[in-house]
Amino acid sequence: MTRRTALAIFGAWRAAAAQKRIAIRGMYSHPKAFWDRGAKLDDYGVTALFVHGGSITAELLARAGAEGARVFAEFATLNGKGYVEKHPEAWPVNERGERAPAATWFLGACPTEPGFRALRMKQLEELLERRAVAGVWLDYFHWHAQFEDPHPILPETCFCESCLAAFAARTGVRAPQGETAMRARWILERHERAWRRWRVDVLLDWAREAKAVVRRVRPSALLGVYHCPWTDEEFGGARERILGLDLKQLAGVADVLSPMVYHGRMERKAEWVGDFVAWLSRRVGKRCRIWPIVQAQSEPREITADEFERVLRLGGGGGATGVMMFTAQSVAADGAKMDAMRRVYGEWGSR
Ligand SMILES: [Zn+2]
């Protein structure tokens, strides 16, 4: 191929990419502040709302529908705060055999504790039965850790009796009897690979069960996952090693992946949003859809309207076919961000 032909092909591809249609033009969080301004979803090109499951009412569904938007439910999955205090058997146990402390504001729950798992699946089923949502997005979908801060907290968990028994049952690797700290050390020193693989499988199993619930109760609804936006290499492979997320395999279960590309909170440049979406698109191929969630909220530093517009556009790049922002409220509070969203969503909607 001559250089000229290559350039022509690249130019055509780039033009096609720029023209691509982004069907899911979303807002994350309850749209009350947006509506309180007198704004209408269809005037801003918004086609999808992502709202905490507990805040979805019949009125919300009716008004969103009348303004041309579908409603997806956020479903907090492996967060343990408020639960593990009353059910200490679900408190994640670290490699010292102690209850893992909260990782800044987040405290996970043990994903193999049967009572906790049964409760979450029941809550998921009830949510789908009660509300005609277009899909459910699993949130806090990882083993206990904190990845949303610039300096992540990445503890080794969970070495509770339930996990050690489940690991032994699945892999045949049985830690010697004795103190938890010794058993944890024995596993990490001698069977680290099997241990980390098993932890990934535990989460895939949760995703499969959640998908089965969705398909059974509301077959038209989609299953999405909000997840940590790290490549395979970052932080020593911690996304898979500590959080337990194999994105390629997860993409084979979930209908949609929503990487949480919060550039301001994670102290990254705006360009990183585009880089990560491109990386994820290559990594998962056509296995599932990609609808990133970008940052609009000025926390912990100011996100200007220009910067918000930039990450919104970058979020819709690569193989993404949808995008949303954290949060609708932050956009509604700033007239310039409202204008930016209308401009970008208007362009995408008119194609
Ligand atoms: Zn456990």
Mean pLDDT by 10 residues, the chain (351 residues): 62 56 96 98 98 98 98 98 98 98 97 98 98 98 96 98 98 97 98 98 98 98 98 98 98 98 98 98 96 98 98 97 98 98 95 72
What pLDDT is attached to residue 350?
A: 85
The CA 89 to ligand 1 mean position distance, Å, reads 8
What pLDDT is attached to residue 351?
A: 72
Q: Which helix (H) or strand (E) holds 16?
A: helix 3-18
The CA 149 to ligand 1 mean position distance, Å, reads 24
Q: Is residue 168 part of a domain?
A: no
Q: Is 347 left (phi over 0), alpha (psi -120 to 50) or beta?
A: alpha
What pLDDT is attached to residue 12?
A: 54
SS3 36: helix
Q: What is the CATH number of the domain that holds 200?
A: 3.20.20.80
Segments forming the whole domain that contains residue 291: 21-92+106-150+195-349
The CA 209 to ligand 1 mean position distance, Å, reads 18
Please say whether the dihedral angle defined by the alpha carbons of residues 224, 230, 231 and 237, taken in this order, is positive or negative: negative
Tally of structural domains, the chain: 1
What pLDDT is attached to residue 17?
A: 52
* CB neighbour list of residue 108: distance below 8 Å, 6 or more residues apart: 78, 79, 80, 92, 100, 140, 142, 143, 144, 145, 157
What pLDDT is attached to residue 339?
A: 98
Q: Is residue 1 part of a domain?
A: no
The CA 251 to ligand 1 mean position distance, Å, reads 25
Q: Is residue 241 part of a domain?
A: yes
Q: Is residue 187 part of a domain?
A: no
| Token code pair at residue 332 | 């509604």
Please say whether the dihedral angle defined by the alpha carbons of residues 326, 329, 333 and 339, taken in this order, is positive or negative: positive
238 and 154 Cβ atoms separated by less than 8 Å: yes
The CA 265 to ligand 1 mean position distance, Å, reads 29
The CA 157 to ligand 1 mean position distance, Å, reads 7
What pLDDT is attached to residue 18?
A: 55
Q: Is residue 320 part of a domain?
A: yes
The CA 161 to ligand 1 mean position distance, Å, reads 7
* CB neighbour list of residue 289: distance below 8 Å, 6 or more residues apart: 255, 256, 257, 321, 322
The CA 78 to ligand 1 mean position distance, Å, reads 12
Q: Which helix (H) or strand (E) holds 170?
A: helix 161-171
Cis? peptide before 304, omega within 30° of 0: no
